[in-house]
């Protein structure tokens, strides 16, 4: 099993085998290169732990645990997990500030504990079979160990074709479950209990009312501390610089926290719709970092999809993770193992256009006959060449859907999910019936996480975003999996839970002020950045999609094979004629909207996932 | 039914997603049936302009001109008549 995860930990393997339990670990050594090999044990050896990730507050926690009499035999962050468990029992996770997937064996109680970090940064999958429970960071280890045979879960595919990813515990594979973010699972006497120990919350703190000046200071302090903690490593650390506010703020903070000579990395695209390199260069020059820009042509994205998909283990709606994998390759080539990024700021501080769109639609819903209110939509999605807001009254008719139901828990997201769900129309009749048997096809959105009705509207929208797209897609297909493909660890200071909780308690106007996003964050970091960056409006990171898979009007060889009538019939998931029509449209470059591009990606990557894992085809792993 | 209308219907059913077995009726709303989204209307307008040699002005991008096969056909009738009369 562990051999299948060598890319996650190429620096060595460790094992603990005892009656009834086996722990295995592939190490990417970052902290305590000398004595940090896992498993790590307590003083008597009765508690053993393997984990993937980092405990950023381990030095402070270690000091606290030593005061309680615990003895440490390594300098690693791993060892605090063992002693925190001894000290605090199953509440040990509450004391950890980090990004982690933990497996802990308590031999005295014959108890296995699995724990995952709050935001869902590190993956942790498990499968329960007649022989027992098996767990791993990636599903491929479960399959390699013969725990179960890979089979595509059609409801999982339908969830991807709605929410952009499965919602944990569901995964795209039957019988493989994901431990949800912020959860602990305990296996005792053959019985598995899963408990949520943390969740996003948006109850406003009345003490935070009034002018935000003090809060700006507090935010700056917290953010600098988060970055300082996350720079902790015994190997070189770099940052990703996208050209936007968030990664620029992380890089500037890292310099202030004692890393003046940082290596920074960014992606450049030929297509100006996606390229942000002028801002990246400006920021790198402003900060004086050693900057590497990796130009990624569309053809390279097409070539690299099979390798990326093997690592991601999920159908995709976007290609954007692939350039990030290629960037991680370059980071690794330069001898760097850890990168800090700006991921998470938009969820925590309200950065996305979908939050503004929802604000406008709610405002409009109070006066549905108004023509001025929907005109505000024209201010959104300016970064999209074929903007969905550029169609005058037709735009209004589209965005008008649901505006008179502001209490709908998924008010902001239904339109996005509607667009993605167009891909469901490509399912074969058998696949549709199969999904329908598991859950009514027309009610898939009911599977989404539900925010608390008492929260403010922006908080409700943030909750849905942070519970679906963030862990399922961004931290997975654009995060952990594509960085680990190159044995790189991503770190995300904006997802320090102290920052998340602080922002959750803020009045919504400190996040979205009118239609200005991330107001308080922008104020907190303004002095560190050039005006052109700190005043820049949000441009989400995107990459070219369907066009990457065609050259001179012909599909790449593996694309043609994956979408051939024979392979489509073999998998039985999609309707051959419908896929042919869509492929023809993409082939001539007529797929200009989100819906077509996403549907094409979903079909192609589901087929390839079937080929790579279910058929065991060797077609697709070339280049891995 | 006019061949003009069939050309439009053929474009819509081949270029946009419809549920299997769907027969697009003359008065079916493209928006309400979620066959065409707002970006899709850009594609539709592009098709009408190139296929029928017309130019669609911004102020003509209205549901009453573009949301059903019948509306589109009536809109084309007016546009082609007006342009022929110039």
Which CATH number do you get for residue B45?
Answer: 1.10.1200.10
Q: Name the nearest CA neighbour of A418 among B51, B34, B15.
A: B34
Distance from CA of A395 to the nearest CA of B (A): 6
**Residue with tokens 């020059």, as numbered in its chain:** A285
- Taking the C-alpha atoms of residue A505 and residue A527, their distance in angstroms, rounded to an integer, is 25
Is it the case that residue A591 has pLDDT exceeding 90?
Answer: no
CB contact under 8 A, A391 and B42: yes
Asked whether the predicted pLDDT for residue A622 surpasses 70, the reply is: no
**Contact call for B17 and A418, based on CB within 8 A:** no
Q: Which domain holds residue B7?
A: 3-84
Residue ranges of domains in chain A, CATH in brackets:
2-196 (3.60.20.10), 200-413+448-544 (3.40.50.620)
Cα A466–A166–B37 angle (5° rounding)? Answer: 80
Q: Is the model's pLDDT at A279 over the cut of 50? A: yes
| CB neighbourhood size of A368 (10 A) | 11
CA-to-CA separations, A591 to A356, A459, A583, A586, B49, in angstroms, rounded: 26, 34, 9, 5, 17
Q: How far is A100 from chain B (nearest CA, A)?
A: 41
Please tell me whether residue B45 adopts helix, strand or coil conformation: helix
Find which of A162, A377, A391 to mutate to test the B interface (most B CBs within 10 Å of its CB): A391
* pLDDT for the residue numbered A619: 43
pLDDT at residue A623, as a whole number: 40
- A374 vs chain B: nearest CA distance in angstroms? 14
Pairing of strands A21-26, A13-18: antiparallel
Q: Number of Cβ pairs closer than 8 Å across A and B? A: 75
- CB-CB contact of A524 with A216 (8 Å): yes
- Which residue in this structure is represented by tokens 């709908």? A408
CB contact under 8 A, B37 and A398: yes
SS3 content of chain A, % helix, strand, coil (to 5): 45, 15, 40
| Length of chain B measured in residues | 86
Return the closest-CA partner of residue A336 out of A280, A258, A265.
A265
Would the CB atoms of A394 and B61 count as touching at under 8 Å?
A: yes
Strand-pairing partners, residue A188, are A111, A191
Mutual angle of helices A392-399 and A353-365, in 10-degree steps? 90
A468: pLDDT strictly greater than 90: yes
Tell me the Cα Rg of chain B. Answer: 12
Residue A387 has pLDDT above 70, yes or no: no
Q: Is the pLDDT of residue A417 over 90?
A: yes
Q: What's the total number of domains in chain B?
A: 1
CB A449 within 8 A of CB A167: yes
B43·A592 Cβ contact <8 A: yes
Q: Give the 3-state secondary structure percentages of chain B, helix then strand then coil, rounded to 5.
A: 60, 0, 40
Question: SS3 for A10?
Answer: coil
Kindly identify which residue of chain A lies nearest to residue B42, measuring between CA atoms: A391
Residues of chain B with Cβ-Cβ distance to A398 below 8 Å are 31, 37-38
**Reported confidence tier of residue A331, pLDDT bands at 50, 70, 90:** very high
- Whole-number pLDDT of residue A23: 95
Mark yes or no for CB contact A398/B38 under 8 Å.
yes
Among residues of chain A, what percentage have pLDDT more than 70?
97
Q: Which pLDDT score is estimated for A47?
A: 97
Q: Note the pLDDT of residue A209.
A: 80
SS3 A454: coil
What is the ipTM metric for this complex? 0.72
Taking any CB pair shorter than 8 Å as contact, residues of chain A touching chain B are: 386-395, 397-399, 418-419, 422-423, 425-426, 429, 575, 578, 581-582, 584-585, 590, 592-595, 599
B-chain CB neighbours of A418 within 8 Å are: 34, 37
User: For A466-490, what is the HEC assignment?
Assistant: HHCHHHHHHCHHHHHHHHHCCCCEE
> Which chain A residues touch B39 with a CB distance below 8 Å?
386-388, 391, 592-595
Mean per-residue pLDDT pooled into runs of 10, chain B (86 residues)? 85 82 88 82 88 89 91 94 71
Q: Which tokens is A535 given?
A: 């005043």
**Measured between alpha carbons, how far is A331 from A267 in angstroms, rounded to an integer?**
12
Chain B interface mutation, best of A388, A397, A427, A429, highest count of B Cβ atoms under 10 Å: A397
Nearest Cα residue to A465 out of A163, A202, A120, A171: A163
Distance CA A166, CA A155 (A): 9
Residue A541: pLDDT over 50? yes
């Amino acid at each position: 099993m562990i051999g299948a995860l060598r890319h996650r930990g190429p620096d060595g393997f460790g094992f603990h085998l005892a009656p009834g339990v086996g722990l295995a670990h592939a190490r990417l050594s970052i902290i305590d290169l000398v004595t940090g090999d896992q498993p790590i044990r307590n003083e008597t050896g009765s508690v053993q732990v393997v984990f993937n990730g980092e405990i950023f507050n381990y030095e402070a926690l270690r000091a606290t645990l030593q005061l309680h009499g615990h003895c440490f035999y390594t300098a690693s962050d791993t060892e605090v997990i063992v002693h925190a468990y001894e000290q605090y029992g199953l509440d040990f996770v509450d004391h950890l500030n980090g990004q982690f997937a933990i497996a802990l064996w308590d031999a005295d109680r014959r108890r296995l504990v699995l724990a995952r970090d709050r935001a869902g940064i590190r993956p942790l999958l498990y499968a329960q079979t007649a022989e027992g429970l098996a767990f791993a960071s990636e599903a491929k280890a479960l399959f390699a160990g013969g725990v179960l045979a890979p089979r595509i879960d059609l409801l999982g595919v339908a969830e991807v074709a709605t929410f952009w990813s499965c919602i944990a515990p569901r995964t795209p594979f039957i019988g493989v479950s994901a431990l949800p973010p912020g959860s602990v699972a305990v296996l005792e006497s053959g019985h598995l209990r899963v408990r949520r120990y943390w969740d996003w919350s948006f109850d406003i703190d009345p003490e935070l009312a009034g002018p935000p000046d003090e809060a700006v200071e507090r935010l700056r302090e917290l953010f600098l501390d988060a970055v300082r903690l996350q720079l902790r490593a015994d190997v070189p650390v770099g940052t990703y610089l996208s050209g936007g506010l968030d990664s620029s703020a992380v890089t500037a903070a890292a310099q202030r926290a004692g890393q003046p000579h940082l290596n920074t990395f960014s992606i450049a695209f030929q297509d100006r719709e996606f390229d942000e390199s002028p801002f990246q260069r400006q920021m790198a020059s402003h900060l004086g970092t050693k900057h590497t820009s990796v130009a990624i042509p569309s053809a390279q994205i097409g070539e690299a999809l099979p390798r990326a998909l093997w690592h991601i283990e999920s159908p995709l709606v976007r290609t954007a993770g692939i350039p990030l994998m290629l960037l991680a390759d370059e980071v690794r080539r330069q001898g760097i193992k850890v990168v800090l990024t700006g991921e998470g700021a938009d969820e925590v501080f309200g950065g996305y256009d979908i939050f503004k769109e929802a604000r406008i639609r709610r405002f409009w819903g109070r006066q549905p006959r108004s023509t001025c209110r929907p005109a505000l939509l024209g201010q959104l999605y300016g970064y999209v060449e074929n903007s969905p807001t550029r169609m005058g009254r037709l735009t209004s008719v589209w965005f008008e859907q649901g505006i008179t139901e502001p209490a709908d828990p998924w008010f902001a997201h239904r339109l996005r999910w509607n667009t993605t769900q167009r891909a469901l129309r490509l399912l074969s009749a058998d696949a549709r019936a199969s999904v329908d048997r598991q859950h009514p096809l027309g009610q898939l959105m009911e599977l989404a996480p539900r925010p608390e009705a008492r929260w403010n509207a922006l908080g409700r929208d943030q909750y849905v975003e942070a519970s679906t797209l963030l862990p399922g897609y961004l931290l997975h297909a654009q995060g952990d999996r594509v960085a680990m493909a190159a044995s790189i660890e991503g770190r995300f200071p904006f997802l320090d839970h102290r920052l998340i909780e602080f922002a959750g308690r803020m009045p919504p106007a400190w996040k979205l002020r009118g239609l200005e996003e991330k107001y308080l964050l922008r104020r907190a970091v303004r002095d560190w950045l050039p005006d052109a960056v700190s005043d820049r409006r949000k441009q989400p990171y995107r990459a070219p999609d369907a066009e990457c898979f065609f050259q001179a009007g012909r599909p790449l060889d593996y694309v043609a094979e994956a979408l051939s009538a024979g392979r489509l019939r073999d998998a039985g998931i999609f309707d051959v004629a419908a896929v042919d029509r869509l492929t023809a449209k993409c082939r001539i470059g007529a797929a200009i909207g989100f819906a077509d591009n996403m549907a094409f990606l979903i079909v192609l990557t589901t087929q390839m996932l079937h080929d790579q894992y279910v058929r065991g085809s060797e077609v697709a792993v070339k280049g891995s | 039914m006019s061949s003009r209308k069939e050309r439009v219907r053929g474009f819509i059913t081949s270029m946009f997603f419809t549920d299997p077995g769907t027969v697009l009726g003359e008065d079916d709303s493209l928006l309400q049936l979620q066959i065409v989204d707002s970006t899709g209307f850009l594609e539709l307008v592009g098709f009408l302009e190139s296929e029928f040699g017309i130019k669609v002005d911004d102020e003509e991008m209205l549901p009453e001109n573009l949301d059903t096969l019948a509306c589109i056909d009536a809109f084309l009738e007016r546009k082609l008549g007006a342009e022929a009369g110039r």
